[in-house]
Copies of this chain bind each other. A is one copy, B any other.
């Protein structure tokens, strides 16, 4: 991307579109590796490049700094950090990586994360879910079967996302729930890139139902192993 010196857009009324644009542009460049570890930026330079004032640049730098993408150093400027120090759970970092050359790697990492988290979430859900949640889960399991057999991929995706989200929510663990967004992202990515069979496999449909059943009837171990076997299929697809 590397925006050319924009003709000083001024504040055209757009609320905070200025900073968003700059943060996105630089974040994308860094996560793409266009700006590699050790690369140096200066506030002055960025002012030029984006045609904004120093304050705006500093605001943006604070955000990037808080994701550990850059570190300000006196006399050196803003030094780009190694990927190892990035805040890789920040939604924006994940989005940037999914947009760039790191896409495949990010997908793989997220899939492993799903494989780790979702079975445990299912087990916890079996212990902590409310009765509303349990009922809803059974409903969703049935809906999935219906939609899966009809071959309606988009609808199936929407319900699948709700299914997995509800389990994370029912786990009662806020750190699991916080992954909802990226898991939804992974699921959509999978169907929209044709990594899904045209009809979800019978095994997957049955397992969804079994997981819903295990959670709603309060069997943590069955829920955990069911979810694990659901994810095992996914895993074999990406490796």
What residues make up the interface of A, taking CB atoms closer than 8 Å to B?
15-16, 19, 55, 58-59, 62-63, 65-67, 72, 74, 83-84, 86-91, 108-110, 112-113, 115-117, 119-121, 124, 171, 173-178
Contact = CB atoms under 8 A, between A and B. Distances in A.
23 contacts: A16-B72, A58-B59, A59-B59, A62-B62, A62-B63, A62-B66, A63-B66, A66-B66, A66-B67, A86-B174, A86-B178, A87-B91, A89-B178, A90-B90, A109-B173, A109-B176, A112-B120, A112-B124, A112-B171, A112-B176, A113-B117, A113-B175, A116-B121
Lowest 10 A-B CB distances belong to which pairs? A89-B89, A116-B120, A116-B116, A62-B62, A63-B66, A116-B117, A109-B175, A88-B178, A59-B62, A109-B173
A88 B178 CA distance: 7
A87 B88 contact: no
Nearest to A91: B87
A175 B90 contact: no
A84 B174 contact: yes
Contacts of A84: 174, 177
Nearest to A60: B62
Nearest to A112: B173
A112 to B, nearest CB: 5
Nearest to A19: B62
Contacts of A112: 120, 124, 171, 173, 175-176
Contact of A174 (B55, B62, B83): B83
Contacts of A89: 87, 89-90, 175, 178
Contacts of A115: 120
A175 B55 contact: no
Nearest to A110: B175
Given A59-B59, A89-B89, 13 more contacts: A15-B74, A59-B62, A63-B63, A63-B65, A66-B67, A84-B177, A87-B89, A88-B178, A90-B90, A109-B173, A109-B176, A110-B175, A113-B117
A50 to B, nearest CB: 16
A175 B88 contact: yes
A178 B98 CA distance: 18
